[in-house]
A and B are shown apart, each in its own frame.
Chain A
Amino acid sequence: MKRAKSTCVAAQSLPDAPGLILHDLSKDYGTQRAIETLGCEIRGGEFTVLLGPSGCGKSTLLRMIAGFETPTGGRITLGGRDITALPSSQRDIAMVFQNYALFPHLDVAGNITFGLNVRRVPRAEQRQRLDEVARMMGLDALLRRKPAQLSGGQQQRVALARAVISGRPVLLMDEPLSNLDAKLRAEMRAEIRALQRRLGLTLIYVTHDQVEAMTMADRIILLNAGRIEQSGTPEQIYSRPATPFAARFIGSPPMNLVPAEALGIAAPPGTSAGLRPEDIEIAETGLPARLVSHEYLGADLLITVAAGSARLILRRPARLGLPPGPELCLRWAPDALHRFAPQPGPASLPTPDPASDPASGPACAAEPAPQPAS
């Protein structure tokens, strides 16, 4: 059944997969607005993650791109072609569903070639493409099984294979890993990422899991309550969150976000200050604080401290141990401090200004803390 055919899968690869542009897209359900008017570009050949908490509209957005939902307003273009009114099947888009949507009455081969059958691809070509994709996904031995006889990871692979065999350049994935256990999830993350690279797919991936987004994405579009909070590379969003929401959503444990006054920073009233747990150091001098509790994570130690009325979590390597006494001083690099203006809106104010150092407290000697953050 297997033939030593040299047709490489890379032959399917699409060096210039088209990108998508969403123009002023919006969606209402009755009087409920699910997606605020938003616009963004999803670049061709990139791994884009739509990230956000449940109910933020990320799945709705994906379903509009797939053509299962009709936008209330706006347009979607794929590689310059307006696809807003096209039926799903004509959009040149493949999709992996959250529950995989495998046809339970068809075996693995039947599931994978379902679309080729529908489109009347000749038998010989079907068999050849099936062979290639099955080998690539490691499904050779399972082709005659029914989905019910497969493990979750295998089902996931079949769903991927069905999407890949279509040869369509754009692949949508809706929370594809949420039904897998943690170990398998980590494996599949790497596998999906490698597949996307190898085939040069434009991949749009919906998840609520920031770890998935950080590890896989070229670009993250962070959504909240139907609008885009921030979009950018994982590094950009992590190191320069545009909004308090972005700051809290990405990173585990999340960024400490406290009123600026609590850290002794001069700022307009209502300004919040943000510090990543790993950017706070325990030092001889700086902001006075008191140890509240700690959590041992193996490699790291999470230490909760109270600085005035504010609670902060800091992360340090566990081998450094706990500070000797309950009273301690905190400091951080100036550019580790993020400021967020009181009004909601894009207000990232990273502070390269040394004047806003942690103010000296009564118990700690006043000394600037010029350590550069990593």
Chain B
Amino acid sequence: MRRETLHAWLMLLPALVLLAGFTHIPAVETVVNSLFSTPRGMRPSHFVGLGNYRNLIADPTFWQAMRNNLLYAAITIPLSMGIALAMALLVQGRIGGRGFLRMAFFTPTVLPLIAVANIWIFFYTPGFGLLNQIGALLGLPNMNFLGQGATALYAVAAVSVWKEAGFFMIFYLAALQTIPPSLIEAARLEGASRWHVFRRVTLPLIMPTTLFISVNAVINAFRLVDQVFVMTQGGPDNASTLLFYYIYQVGFQFWDTAYAATLTVVMLTILAAIAIGQFFVLDRKVHYR
């Protein structure tokens, strides 16, 4: 082997080991594991083919988690992105206390989600929680937001919107600041209304950022579920179980590792499909400078 080739491999080795050891081999292992049964005390693992996948299709909890996750994504992604854009537009202009507002909007992002979730538990607490106290002032009945199936998922989703919007705002703010003011002035001179300028000039120019944020938002919607652990543990009656939380339960509470691997493969496939779809569909509409 030539010296340079050897050197090149040596240089690549650390990254190669880390990537292979923690990303590629586990990924392949996961796919392999999903085709075998879970090893139990007396019964070693054996090949079951697509058996795990058949179980998955028949598993009502999986479908419940799936539905919950789609609903959760459908709520959190548009809401957090919309609020982020609105906040960015607000603090981009010349308004009083702009610096303070920017900081206030960004603060939720800096706080650890676990801590935030604990604080939100107090907001949601029945009886003396903040929301119920405000509700009582308005004459509304006492509500157990986290404790009833009808509201638990929405309560959890609200926390992630609150958390994510500030983070996405920073990206939108950066994108808005790259638009030269003369473009807006030129459009205004032509008689374009504020809304028209936003729709025909601002929005197309920040599309690359919107695409970037939307990919991140989708991934986060399936991945970032710390608050479920803290606030509901997926309850009541799986009403707030998300896919990722279900995988955790199956893998590390029920120790059905093969089935957890199967769930993981399904989730990764969904995520990859969505991300690729976003790039292919939106890319044609996105103008990159």
Q: Which residues of A contact B (CB under 8 A)?
A: 66-68, 87-90, 93-95, 97-99, 101, 103-105, 114-115, 118-119, 146, 148, 162, 166
How many whole Å from A366's CB to the nearest CB in chain B? Answer: 62
Interface 1/0s, chain B 202-221, versus A by CB < 8 A?
Answer: 00110100000000000000
In the bound assembly, the distance between CA atoms of A89 and B183 in angstroms comes to: 14
Across the interface, which residues of B come within 8 angstroms of A101, CB to CB? 180, 182-183, 185-186
**Other A-B pairs beyond A89-B189, A97-B182, 6, CB < 8 Å:** A67-B189, A88-B188, A90-B191, A95-B189, A99-B182, A166-B190
In the bound assembly, the distance between CA atoms of A369 and B130 in angstroms comes to: 97
Across the interface, which residues of B come within 8 angstroms of A115, CB to CB? 189-191
Q: Say whether B191 contacts A119, CB under 8 Å.
A: yes
Q: Say whether A89 contacts B190, CB under 8 Å.
A: yes
19 contacts between A and B (CB under 8 A): A66-B189, A68-B185, A87-B188, A89-B188, A95-B186, A97-B182, A101-B182, A101-B183, A101-B186, A103-B186, A103-B201, A104-B205, A105-B205, A105-B287, A114-B190, A115-B191, A118-B187, A118-B192, A118-B196
- Judge if B289 is at the interface, Cβ distance under 8 Å: yes
How many whole Å from A208's CB to the nearest CB in chain B? Answer: 18
Across the interface, which residues of A come within 8 angstroms of B180, CB to CB? 99, 101
Contact partner, A88, options B183, B185, B207, Cβ 8 Å: B185
In the bound assembly, the distance between CA atoms of A316 and B212 in angstroms comes to: 65
Q: How many A-B contacts are there with CB distance less than 8 Å?
A: 59
How many whole Å from A8's CB to the nearest CB in chain B? Answer: 25
Q: Which residues of B contact A (CB under 8 A)?
A: 180, 182-183, 185-192, 196, 200-201, 204-205, 207, 287, 289
How many whole Å from B285's CB to the nearest CB in chain A? Answer: 10
Across the interface, which residues of A come within 8 angstroms of B289, CB to CB? 104, 148
In the bound assembly, the distance between CA atoms of A162 and B186 in angstroms comes to: 10
Q: Give the residue among A67, A89, A93 with the most B Cβ atoms within 10 A.
A: A89
Leading 3 A-B pairs by shortest Cβ distance: A115-B190, A89-B191, A105-B287
Contact partner, B204, options A93, A105, A114, A166, Cβ 8 Å: A105
Across the interface, which residues of B come within 8 angstroms of A87, CB to CB? 188
In the bound assembly, the distance between CA atoms of A166 and B190 in angstroms comes to: 8
Across the interface, which residues of B come within 8 angstroms of A166, CB to CB? 190
Q: Say whether A114 contacts B187, CB under 8 Å.
A: yes
Across the interface, which residues of A come within 8 angstroms of B182, CB to CB? 97-99, 101
Q: Say whether A88 contacts B189, CB under 8 Å.
A: yes
Across the interface, which residues of B come within 8 angstroms of A90, CB to CB? 191
Closest to B201 in A: A103
In the bound assembly, the distance between CA atoms of A166 and B192 in angstroms comes to: 13
Across the interface, which residues of A come within 8 angstroms of B191, CB to CB? 89-90, 115, 118-119
Q: Say whether A118 contacts B185, CB under 8 Å.
A: no
Closest to B207 in A: A105
Contacts A89-B191, A104-B289, A119-B191; A97 near B186 (Cβ below 8 A): yes
How many whole Å from A155's CB to the nearest CB in chain B? Answer: 13
Across the interface, which residues of A come within 8 angstroms of B183, CB to CB? 101, 103
Closest to A110 in B: B200
Closest to B287 in A: A105
Closest to B189 in A: A88
In the bound assembly, the distance between CA atoms of A347 and B204 in angstroms comes to: 56
Contact partner, B189, options A93, A99, A103, A105, Cβ 8 Å: A93
In the bound assembly, the distance between CA atoms of A93 and B190 in angstroms comes to: 9
Q: Say whether A104 contacts B187, CB under 8 Å.
A: no
Across the interface, which residues of A come within 8 angstroms of B192, CB to CB? 89, 114, 118
